[in-house]
Amino acid sequence: ETGVTQTPRHLVMGMTNKKSLKCEQHLGHNAMYWYKQSAKKPLELMFVYSLEERVENNSVPSRFSPECPNSSHLFLHLHTLQPEDSALYLCASSQEQLAYSYNEQFFGPGTRLTVL
Partner 1 sequence: DAKTTQPTSMDCAEGRAANLPCNHSTISGNEYVYWYRQIHSQGPQYIIHGLKNNETNEMASLIITEDRKSSTLILPHATLRDTAVYYCIVKLPPPGGYNKLIFGAGTRLAVHP
Q: Does 10 bind partner 1 (CB under 8 A)?
A: no
Q: Does 115 bind partner 1 (CB under 8 A)?
A: no
Residue from 54, 56, 77, 82 that binds partner 1 (CB under 8 A)?
Answer: 56
| Burial of 104 (C-beta count, 10 Å sphere; 0-12/13-18/19+) | exposed
Residue from 45, 67, 73, 80 that binds partner 1 (CB under 8 A)?
Answer: 45
Residues within window 78-97 making contact with partner 1, judged by CB under 8 A: 90-92, 94, 96-97
Q: Does 109 bind partner 1 (CB under 8 A)?
A: yes
C-alpha to C-alpha distances, 110 to 73, 98, 101, nearest whole angstrom: 15, 28, 27
Contact 46, 113 (CB under 8 A): no
How far out from the chain centre does Cα 3 lie? Answer: 15
**Which residues of the chain form contacts with partner 1 (CB under 8 A)?**
4, 31, 33, 42-43, 45, 48, 50, 55-56, 90-92, 94, 96-110
